[in-house]
Amino acid sequence: MSTIKTKDGTEIFYKDWGSGQPIVFSHGWPLSADAWDAQMMFFGERGFRVVAHDRRGHGRSSQTWTGNDMDTYADDLAAVIEHLDLNDIVLVGHSTGGGEVAHYIGRHGTKRVAKAVLVGAVPPLMLKTEANPNGLPIEVFDDIRKNTYENRSQFFYDLSMPFYGYNREGAKVSEGIRMNFWLQGMQAGIKPAYDCIEQFSEVDYTEDLKKFDIPTLFLHGDDDQIVPIIASAMISSKIVPNATLKVYPGGAHGLAQLQPDQFNNDLLAFIKG
């Protein structure tokens, strides 16, 4: 397997396929780089170099006890980028990975980055506060913690329903997609998966977003039950200078898996635009 070792000795697994302008993908919770398979194939076949890593504690990377925080996630992403000496990058982050992309730019700047795409992404802040009244109450995330701690196998399988909008009337359920979600989730270590919940829910990425100085696209479903659009992309796209927001009517959280043809072509048009 292709891995790098970070400063604290953590092994980070990554895929590095193809050649051309690099597109670097950051996955959501509790998934792995495999969540981007449809995009890796599509863009790899069209002359791009496609790179995706498993966040520490997830997938095939080390199951870490410590360092499961957004500062370290962003630095791990930087370590992969620097190890591969990537430049002129299109950074793509889904959900928690969108927070990772934002925090990477906040900490490391855009000298290696040409464009950014945030998909169903958690910035600026998921948690409901006085300053963020449209966020989700802390009880929602406490319940995620409780279920992850007590029976994450059942919880991840159940979570795949709202994640893909399969709990909506008339939805055509794919058991394959649900099982793939479950499998990727179960590859994660329970401690890093548990720790990551705080990172996607309680970290405020507002100051990171203010540092974006590159073309940025926000893609978000208006029926996202995991990261409601009203508290995320609707706000983030106004913070990032000259950002573009594309809303998928009726779209759920897992856009890249549910609507890969539309998603891939929208992403390709943005990259070439």
Q: What is the pLDDT of residue 104?
A: 98
Full residue range of the structural domain in which residue 193 is found: 3-272
| % the chain with pLDDT above 70 | 100
State mean pLDDT over 53-62. Answer: 98
Q: What is the pLDDT of residue 239?
A: 98
* Number of independent structural domains in the chain: 1
Answer yes or no: are the C-beta atoms of 72 and 5 closer than 8 Å: no
Dump pLDDT digits (tens) for 26-46.
999 999 999 999 999 999 999
Answer yes or no: are the C-beta atoms of 118 and 216 closer than 8 Å: yes
Dump pLDDT digits (tens) for 165-178.
999 999 999 999 99
Q: What is the pLDDT of residue 1?
A: 78
Dump pLDDT digits (tens) for 169-216.
999 999 999 999 999 999 999 999 999 999 999 999 999 999 999 999
Q: Is 95 a catalytic residue?
A: yes
Dump pLDDT digits (tens) for 74-93.
999 999 999 999 999 999 99
The per-residue pLDDT of the chain, averaged, comes to 98
pLDDT at 245 over 90: yes
Q: Which of 26, 61, 62, 95 is catalytic?
A: 95
State mean pLDDT over 88-108. Answer: 98
Q: Which of 54, 75, 76, 224 is catalytic?
A: 224
Domain with residue 232: its CATH number is 3.40.50.1820
d(CA 168, CA 144): 21
b/e per residue 185-219 (b: at least 16 CB within 10 A)? bebbbeebbbbbbebbbebebbebbeebebbbbbb
